[in-house]
Every structure is written in C-alpha cells, then in structure tokens.
C-alpha cells in the first residue's frame, strides 16, 4: 500500500490488489474504521488467527478487474480474483 501524507497538503492515496494482479483498488480517503476479526470464517479465509479490515467511504474507492464470489454466511459474500479459481 502506498500512502502520501504531507504536512501542508494532505493527500491520502491507498493502492493495492490481489497477488495475481487481476483485481486492483485505489482509495483516496482515510478509513472510516479499521479492525481485526477473530470469527472462525475470517480465520479460515485468511489462514491466520484473525483477518484485518479497513472500511472506506464507497464514493472514495475505485476498483478494476473481475472477481467471483461465494456466500460465506447469511449476510456476507467473499470475493476473489477469477484467476485464483483455477
């Protein structure tokens, strides 16, 4: 992730994406909230003791690239890059 934060001119830009490069995102805002999830689904999906998340205003996020999704719970879907499905 790349951050630009100058004292006199505060411009924030976060960029990232999946490991295969098919899906990319850019965010031009500070997150509304960040957190760690310890639920079993998050631990399984991340292969770790927790999943880390940052929530941004929707209008400040741009995404490119196709994803597939699976229903991980009654209320949530998880997305992944199509090339990872092979």
Q: Which tokens hold the place of 1?
A: 């992730």
* pLDDT for the residue 78: 86
On the CB side of 22, how many CA atoms lie within 13 Å of its CA? 11
Model confidence at 84, pLDDT cuts 50, 70, 90, reads low
Contact 23, 84 (CB under 8 A): no
Q: What is the pLDDT of residues 32-83, one digit of tens each?
A: 999 999 998 889 888 999 999 999 999 999 999 999 998 988 888 888 887 7
């Amino acid at each position: 992730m790349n951050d630009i934060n100058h004292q006199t001119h505060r411009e924030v830009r976060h960029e990232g994406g999946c490991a295969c490069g098919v899906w990319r995102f850019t965010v031009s805002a500070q997150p509304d909230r960040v957190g760690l999830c310890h639920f079993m689904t998050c631990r399984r999906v991340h292969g770790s003791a927790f999943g880390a998340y940052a929530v941004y205003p929707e209008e400040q996020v741009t995404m490119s690239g196709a994803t597939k999704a699976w229903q991980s719970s009654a209320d949530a879907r998880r997305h992944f890059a199509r090339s990872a499905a092979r």
